Structure 1
């Protein structure tokens, strides 16, 4: 006889292809239900002589579906503790309960400085008529000269926290969800020109696009088409001072939210390095208020700083408020092993002429680097 398979608290169901379609699980949950009760003893001086081991109880109160009562011994619980008052919590209802308890005396002066606080750090197990508390809660002589006793009245505050547990079963239907293809669909929409309603002239090239998509992605295009001075009915618009291949790369980002691939950052009529193209793209991103694309360009340029391009990148960073790129360029150029070669580069002469304030920044950075 084959051995029986052990039962487990979690189960899984599979199709013939071993593809999970349904799983179940359970969890054990422990919660604390808390409530407070104040037991006010009026005429404390009269109650004080009832005798050792004698007590008075509060009215019953309910916490967590169980009934409780506060038990107060004004003359002490035992002969050994007769100089102390004792306070206890009693479970009145039947059954077994785990609970925490806390006692404190309320200040009778109205200043709110309650004290003599006793509490359990972990739950205690109560059974019917079970008492738990402190036999030497407070010395009677101290109580009678404290702010907790005024006009022959004493207020005992008790907080009960009943532990409740339950087991919950959860079922999860596992349905495979493919990754989003939104960017691919939008790029296809751009490439197919389906539904295009705007033609953008950049240099000698023309790009068909969708005004709604451009406006949703760029505040500049939104103002151009739908702003107070915009024209939602325009069919063509010319963009100046941007190279067509740079605009194409930016357009692909607008539709895909992805940094353009290397093949998108090339143009046979515009011979330059990918770093230079990224610099142009950063300027376009700043012009059309594309913060995400601008940061992408900035991050790429920070990773590709060299002796030959650091001066140009520094000027670009200063022009377009790219603080991280500016800091990276200054730190690179200020290094003793780089400074001499940077000053010989073609870009450094342009920097000194167009942005003389950057020379001050460079000298200050050099002073810090050399000091360290």
Structure 2
């Protein structure tokens, strides 16, 4: 349920294209939030209220869900003609947002009795098509934990049947140490926050809810952990997180991360960025040791060929070559 208080203030203070986000809520074992645009989400619908729903988590596999938004009257009943539902859509990341640009015309709402004392109430119903059997498993189906990992002194009680099935690396560690509940398996060289995220993923196939700043801070460490524990789906999530950080100053570092941790998806994001020739020219200008040029030559010779062709078409370069002849 979304309660919008101080309707007139929100309308005056929040411009077109900007939204108010609800607190996160659970539906189908996933966290969601509602995005309410009091003056419309785009310039083409400034006379409407727009409303959307977004996933809070990043998932390895998309979740399919249908959403219904209903304006409620003073008795808490849906107002006829103002209940809208989406088709079944796939959500896998926080930027997967679905809803309605034209939920209700502001003029109609303001003339109605449903705007009571500056408040409107909108009900949001999320129907999730469950496809991930691991979600919620640790809450009610599994036996007591039979192993404990220890990271920087902090214990992580776990189920050997789950972690071994999900990760060959964990399976090897468990086989080496055994499942004696009186013995902890030490995990070295990983921050606690990152290991917490790894274990959350192992059990739920999703990362825990976190803001963009937190994601950016642990993205590199999380990719290293995904490689170390042989979790390819987690690698894909990490690549998606890190892709938003690729720019002229970071692409060399990101390429190095992709190679070091065998992340093909991140590598492809880097190549896609470099296909913008002005960006590649700027990056090459700072590639003092030639490592990026060497890697592009090996992994994407067609791209390098195109860039070289552009260079040789440059009049100043042709003049320089003529002088050397």
Shorter chain as denominator, the TM-score bin is 0.3 to 0.5
TM-score when scaled to structure 2? 0.46
TM-score normalized with structure 1 length: 0.41
More helix by percentage: 2
Whose strand fraction is larger, Structure 1's or Structure 2's? 1
Q: Which has the larger radius of gyration?
A: 1
